[in-house]
Amino acid sequence: MPIEQGWLAGARRQPSPNCDERPAGEVSLLVLHSISLPPGQFGGEHIERLFTNCLDPDAHPFFAEIAHLRVSAHLLIRRDGECVQFVPFQRRAWHAGRSRWRDGERERTALNDFSIGIELEGDEVSPYTLAQYRALAEVTAELLAAWPALDESRITSHARVAPLRKSDPGPAFDWAFFRQQLRG
């Protein structure tokens, strides 16, 4: 799945308005997330509706709490491995929120400015699927090839960059298996 003009070939495009230009054009961090809407349920259109500001707050009690959010990710990898892209990789998606990253000796904030956000359809307790790991490894390999500032040491979780706020993709995500898939 090569990247063409910021879009992943083969991914279904679902453009989100929740993005803007990167201030310096830098891409040097990959942040992995997990999401399920409603919480603990997979499938359906609710994630896409959230990222495109079309989530019906009356469709589920939890949605009333989040429908006002203006968030996005670059990419969603569904349980069956389907990739849905919301924001071209060269643009800034609004995925990391308040977060911090130690980059060598300096601590950086405003991670959306220089990171790519990938959501895995899942939660922190359900095992992710083989199809998801394979798709994530393939996409990650393309991103590593496209942006020289990215390398395996610059792949992290939402939990590591916002530890007091977030815990995703959680203990159900098998980092060793993902790295094994990435190395082919």
Catalytic residues: 119
| Helix, strand counts (H, E) of the chain | 5, 12
In degrees rounded to 5, what are phi and psi of residue 83? Answer: -105, 130
Task: Please name which of 82, 77, 17 lies closest in space to residue 50, comparing C-alpha atoms.
Answer: 17
Is-contact 72 51, C-beta < 8 A?
A: yes
Q: How far apart, in whole angstroms, are the C-alpha atoms of residue 26 and residue 149?
A: 8
H or E stretch at 180: helix 175-182
Helix orientation angle between 130-146 and 175-182, rounded to the nearest 10 degrees: 60
Structure token digits, residue 147: 């942006």
Q: How many other CB atoms are there within 10 angstroms of residue 140's CB atom?
A: 21
